């Protein structure tokens, strides 16, 4: 006999969102419309979804993703990485040319290292 109701679908758990270095301050410095878009896309990531306009950035660190936002006739980028315990935002910036600047890539790499040291401290 089948039950008279549909079984509950499991709701994905929301992972915490954590910011490395000055990433939160950098996000708050963006225009409000961009903050809103970035926040909504990062919320999708927290629930396990993959938003549109993402690009893997393996040269930053394993599993690092670049979130691409186009708004206010400008380009904005968010580097983040998803780990089992949380979603970590590594770097937030305004992109001014077709290629991501060396300084932004280096900042992403440095923050990924900082995250790795925080998660796996040396003995």
The string of pLDDT tens digits covering residues 38-56 is 999 999 999 999 998 999 9
d(CA 109, CA 58): 10
- All domains of the chain, ordered by start, with CATH? 17-119 (3.30.2310.20)
- 3-class DSSP state for residue 77? strand
Q: What band does 12 get if pLDDT is binned at 50, 70 and 90?
A: confident
Report d(CA 73, CA 84) in Å as an integer.
35
Which DSSP category does 69 fall into? E
pTM for the complete prediction? 0.86
Mean pLDDT of 13-28: 95
Residue-wise pLDDT tens digits, 67-99? 999 987 899 999 999 999 999 999 999 998 888
């Amino acid at each position: 006999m089948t039950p008279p109701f549909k079984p509950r679908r499991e709701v994905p758990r929301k992972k915490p969102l954590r910011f490395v270095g000055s990433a939160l301050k950098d996000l708050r410095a963006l225009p409000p419309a961009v903050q809103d878009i970035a926040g909504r896309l990062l919320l999708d990531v927290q629930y396990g979804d993959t938003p549109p306009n993402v690009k893997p950035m393996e040269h930053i660190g394993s599993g690092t993703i670049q979130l691409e936002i186009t708004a206010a006739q400008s380009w904005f980028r968010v580097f983040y990485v998803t780990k089992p315990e949380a979603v970590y935002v590594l770097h937030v910036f305004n992109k001014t040319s077709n290629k991501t600047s060396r300084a932004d890539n280096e900042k992403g790499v440095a923050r990924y290292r900082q995250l790795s040291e925080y998660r796996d401290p040396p003995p």
